[in-house]
Structure 1
Amino acid sequence: MPEVLRGGVIGAGVFGGYHARQYARLPGVVLSAVLDAHPDRAAQVALPLGGRAFREMDAFLDAVDVVTVASPATFHAEHALAAIAAGKPVYVEKPIAVSVADAEKIRAQAAARGLVVACGHQERVVFRAMGLLDAPEQPLLLEALRHGPPSERSRDVSAVLDLMVHDLDLALSIATAEPVTAEGEGAIGPSGSWDQARAEVSFDSGFTARFDVSRMAGGRKRTMRVVYPSGEVEIDFVARTFRNTTPFDLNADFADTPAATDPLGASVEGFLQAVRGEAPRPIVNAEEAIRALDLAIAVERALEDAA
């Protein structure tokens, strides 16, 4: 393992730029390369940060030690598998893939080569900063709302795989139970896929999780309510307000912690620590990303059945 890792980013869009800046600023790593089908876009991201722009995958992979896949979601599996085949640990933005079969290939091929795979469910960092991942009770009810205005980002997948998958992963992270049913309804928008969706997922413990996402809203809104036997937690992530009636020792000032201020940075740093052997695993591994993807696809099937 080199003393300073050479980081590479596939995809020069908005998230590719975010990841490139993380490699340029974190200790023990430099931004070495950015790959994009449009070399001018790759150069705009890479050159100001001291990296090089690439258009060809083989040359790009020769120039890096670790890879972030921040290309459109429909290319995540193809690009992650190319990196793994070249022996590179990989951080894949969410969703890890758009089919469970492809996601399982990523997991299996990385495991066969002893390579770390991380997935960009950065909301886990925020939950950890709150203390919710260590809550001593199992939840009874979760209600999550995630609305935002139209955007050109992630139009290749539905709002379920773009937005709801965050909250599906959070529900899975705080419940030891398994999801058993998913019901939903939605609306197809200008993207040609589900741009609005509401879903209810039932778990085998009796835990119920309800989700409401939209990328056709007039403004940004993101709230969550989690009910436990001893009380409830309400969070408004936009207004940065927090209400806790449980006896749990939660951090009401979580939003001001370094991790919650920059969850992407904490997530990428966790990936690099796992690659170096300084941490036993990344913050979200391939198995967890596959569970979130599997549940998201179940929700999409429920939307289609209800249409």
Structure 2
Amino acid sequence: MTPTRCAVIGVGYLGKFHAQKYAAFSHADLIAVADTDAEAAARVGADCDCRAVTDYRELLGEVDAVSIAVPTTLHYQVARDFLERGTHVLVEKPITSTVAEAAELNRIAREHDAILQVGHLERFNAALLDLAGQRCAPLFIESHRLAPFKPRATDVNVVLDLMIHDIDIILDMVRSPVKAVAASGAKVLSEALDIANARIEFENGCVANVTSSRVSLKSERKMRIFQKNAYVSVDFQNRGLSIHRLGEREMFPGIPEVTTETSIFEEGDALKTEIAAFLEAITNGGPVIVSGEDGQRALETAIRITEQVRQGAHVLGEDG
């Protein structure tokens, strides 16, 4: 099998890991990395034994697939240029800055028969992958995604930075149109929202209460899912999954027993799994786990939440 010719555009904190994964796959040929920072490009290129360029346009038409890990504001331009050449694209989340840009990328991908995958990495968490194989019909979902402040992530607000992970998972799990959104948030250490809470109501009756913060003292990534006769807890950070169900026996007369199944999964490599799925979709026509359409829906809901905060004047420290 001829290896897929690949490149990574943007080799900052996350992009360099993309490059390392491609370089390690026998069925991928990492042709080059690109970054406007010549020193960073050269360093990663040397580490991965590939060409380094400062202008990604030099690679148009030379590769079969790319990972794009540039700032969000550049996602549309870079992804568009490659998709128009029929190049398969894995773009980091959020897919773009606007829904219109996301819709255009999806149109171009369809027109040129190119795969467009979005880097919602949490979908490849071992605990969630295990849950995906089981029946899930949520009635209520509660999620908390908390992280300490990191200056490098402030090019977007906390909704687009962190909450969008849970939004994507919840939309995929519930599979029903969003009916209503209520949200509030605060700017704490940056000029964008640093903490936010959203209540998302779906047309099928499910409700999700989602909280994200990038100004916490500790890290936490948990989701709790309530459905008829069952309660599921997913700990993304520690790769833990607990499922509590009503049993067939009685714990006491008239009180049914509750059975518990708890699993702790070995530490995996979610990024490696994500890129492997991308390459599988390219070479063997496997399913696109997080499609461009998925990325667009998650972005649309994230922007709706952000606008709800602004329109409701619920941003701490702002008037009107």
C-alpha separation in 2, matches of 1:153 and 1:138: 37
- Report the structure number with the largest CA radius of gyration: 2
C-alpha separation in 2, matches of 1:128 and 1:272: 22
Task: Out of 236-245 and 68-77, give the one that drifted further.
Answer: 236-245
Task: Out of 260-269 and 288-297, give the one that drifted further.
Answer: 260-269
Bigger helix share? 1
Q: Does residue 1:277 correspond to 2:287, yes or no?
A: no
C-alpha separation in 2, matches of 1:16 and 1:150: 20
Contact 1:131 1:251 in 2 (8 A): no
Pick closer, same or farther for the CA change 1:130–1:268 going to 2, 3 Å: closer
* Residue in structure 2 matched with residue 7 of structure 1 by the alignment: 6
- Matching residue's letter, 2:163: M
C-alpha separation in 1, matches of 2:209 and 2:29: 41
Q: Does residue 1:302 correspond to 2:304, yes or no?
A: no
C-alpha separation in 2, matches of 1:6 and 1:102: 26
- How many equivalent pairs are there? 302
Pick closer, same or farther for the CA change 1:203–1:183 going to 2, 3 Å: same
Moved over 6 A (4+): 247-251
Shift of 1:122: 1.9
Shift of 1:36: 0.9
Unaligned segments of structure 1, at least 5 residues: none
Bigger strand share? 2
C-alpha separation in 2, matches of 1:294 and 1:197: 16
Relative to the length of structure 1, the TM-score reads 0.92
C-alpha separation in 2, matches of 1:150 and 1:67: 30
Contact 1:120 1:284 in 2 (8 A): yes
Pick closer, same or farther for the CA change 1:240–1:270 going to 2, 3 Å: closer
Pick closer, same or farther for the CA change 1:157–1:93 going to 2, 3 Å: same
Deviations 1:131-174 (A, max 9, x none): 32244341011111011111123321111011000000110111
Deviations 1:16-59 (A, max 9, x none): 01111110112300222111111111111121111111112221
Task: Out of 120-129 and 293-302, give the one that drifted further.
Answer: 120-129
C-alpha separation in 2, matches of 1:255 and 1:215: 26
C-alpha separation in 2, matches of 1:117 and 1:162: 20
Q: Please, which of 272, 280, 294 is the counterpart of residue 265 of structure 1?
A: 272
Q: Does residue 1:95 correspond to 2:105, yes or no?
A: no
Shift of 1:219: 1.9
C-alpha separation in 1, matches of 2:99 and 2:264: 33
> Counterpart of 1:197 in 2: which secondary structure?
strand
Q: How much identity, in percent, do the aligned residues show?
A: 31
Contact 1:31 1:46 in 2 (8 A): no
Question: What root-mean-square deviation, in Å, do the aligned CA atoms of Structure 1 and Structure 2 show?
Answer: 2.1
Shift of 1:252: 4.1
